[in-house]
Amino acid sequence: MKTVPIISAEKAASLVKDGDIILGGGFGMTGNPVNIIHELAKTKTKDLTFIANNVGEPNMGGGRLLNNGQLKKMIGSFFTSNREAVLAAQEGRVEYELLPQGTLAEAIRAGGAGIGGFYTPTSAGTLIAEGRETKMLNGKEQVFIEGIRGNVAIIRAWKADTAGNLQYRMTEQNFNRAMATAADIVIAEVQEIVPNGEIDPNEIHTPGCFVDYLVERKLTEEDLGSSASVGSSKVIDEKRMNMAKRAFAELEKGDVVNLGIGIPTLVADLIKPEDGIILHTENGMLGVGPEPKDGGGAMYYPVNAGKVPVTALPGSSYFDSADSFAMIRGGHIDVAIMGGLEVDAQGNLANWSVPGKPLLGVGGAMDLASGAKKLIITLRHTDRDGGSKVVENCTLPITDFSCVDMLITELAVFKFIDGQLTLIEILPGSTLEEVREKTEAKFVEQLSK
């Protein structure tokens, strides 16, 4: 059995050269090889292309490389969680490329598997797909995405043996597993290195043949950024809760459900064990439970796609981001409940970008909108200026086309019946006259008497 060199974080950082393409593991700061990245930030290495789900958090992980001016380009799914990265992109100080989260994960997996590229329906017809080759497959427009490989992958695992076999913990697999296969040099930062034979072969997630170097560095709560504790920022008021309750009423026992950020997170608080609803999160967990009652963070608990620590229900499972989005695109998610910025009369959804605003990230929204069997959108009926968000035609960048099945606002519930926006219910505190007045889109009324 081979023995993988064990090196210092400083030595690992020295293996990165000017102009390299870096694959950086992690989802937020969970499963993030923060110690090696911070050592890289102490060097003069420059002109790097940094590929990761997001560029760390402000001055943490990839965020520190950004602030040092070491990044030439960043490629990722969700930069919005690091305002410094958004500002650098919008001011033109760093090049950037946005990919939907599932597309990014699959592109890395393809690169690691020696596959030149693949077609996906995700992002077809949107701004994200501009300039890319498309083809009609199975009656759907699909976008060609090239596989992604890097010069160096810097990943994080929980345990390694001296042969380089890796074991991950909880939701720390995320992008790490795919990235371990997709670079010329793979460096794994781990919590613990044990002798060969101490990890059961059944419990190895990344075989040692992929790993070139090991770095043993203990994780601390300071390394976890915003996921170090629960710190919930949920906004709860009567109207938001009414929307969440109405969305919850659409769920059936046995449904596999994905909840977006914002109002949809309130639905999780309504689910009881006897409901038999299985929550899915894009960063690699099925069977998401409530937030920890002890306030503990990602040192002890998994995190959801909002980077909030959660608990694991009996029967839950962990996997990586590529497998998570295979579930989504493969039609294994029964219901997705997401927030929105606009929904129009054709069932088109806009929920990821507002020109001129500090938003720069599509996350998993495009994958979920096109892949979930049923899509429920919750949004405020009007914007701060009183303008309708239920519009005849979306004016904001589109997430996906003709994808919305149900729309729930604080005023009313709409369904798309035979392709027609149809009002089916008035919510408490509203009137039919108010709904008519505040809805720009034309709609049919089918209210039960």
Residues designated as active site: 282
Q: Strand 390-391 and strand 342-344: pairing?
A: parallel
For 272-294, give the DSSP string. -GGG--EEEETTTEEEE-PPPTT
* Pair of tokens at residue 281: 């999160």
Element (H, E) at 432: helix 432-438
Angle, alpha carbons 291-292-298 (nearest 5°): 90
As a whole number of angstroms, the distance between CA 221 and CA 438 comes to 47
- Say what angle helices 101-112 and 321-329 make with each other, to 10 degrees: 120
Amino acid letter for position 349: L
Helix (H) or strand (E) holding 102: helix 101-112
Burial of 233 (0-12, 13-18, 19+ CB in 10 A): exposed
Rounded Cα distance, 449 and 447, in Å: 6
The tokens of 149 are what? 């490989």
Q: Determine how β-strand 95-98 pairs with β-strand 117-120.
A: unpaired
Phi, psi of 297 (to 5 degrees): -110, -155
